[in-house]
Amino acid sequence: MAAGWTGNSQYPELTHNENNSSFCYGVKADRKFRLPWIQGKRDADMEHEVITWIETITRKFAPKENAIGEWLKDGTILCQILDTVYPGSLKTKINTKKSQFSAAENITNFLESSKNAGIDESNLFELSDLLDEKDIGKVIKTLAYLKENVKIMIPIQFI
């Protein structure tokens, strides 16, 4: 492996080629996981805190760290979180079918219901950030904001 990535480092160095375009070495799935960390789009401490909060609320446990996007991708956990902290706020019923359409429906339900619950649109991620796993860091930031917002409104129950 090259460019500072030894396989042991959690945060390898970002490499540039002669055209100054950024890239990482390794298998594609591994690069997809590492690149956002390198670019500073993900925060390990915040992510761990948010995942622990989600596990507490939903009583469902997260898979290994680099599969968080896949875990949240169908939108059911997001809807369960919102329904737990803001009961009755979901616009539509959670769709439990395993399809990309159902996942998009659940994520959209979460986003629209979050707006109706008073979450500012600037603090929400976009559908493609999670569905296509374009920016999981932004999804985590939305959930961190939701966690803090809930802590302010309901100080003891969901800390």
The pLDDT tens digits for 87-133 are 888 888 988 888 889 999 999 999 999 888 888 899 999 998 888 88
Note the pLDDT of residue 126: 92
Per-residue pLDDT of the chain (159 residues; tens, 9 = 90+): 444 445 555 554 555 555 555 554 444 445 555 555 555 566 777 888 888 888 888 888 888 766 788 888 999 999 999 888 888 888 889 888 888 899 999 999 999 998 888 888 999 999 988 888 888 888 989 999 998 887 655 544 544
Each domain of the chain, given as residue ranges in start order, spans: 1-40, 44-153
Contact predicate 106/74, CB 8 Å: yes
Neighbours of 45 (CB within 10 A): 7
Note the pLDDT of residue 155: 46
Note the pLDDT of residue 85: 86
For residue 121, which amino acid is it?
E
**What does the radius of gyration of the chain's CA atoms come to, in whole angstroms?**
17
In terms of CATH architecture, what is 44-153?
A: Orthogonal Bundle (1.10)
Q: How far apart are CA 79 and CA 66, in angstroms?
A: 21
Contact predicate 114/146, CB 8 Å: yes
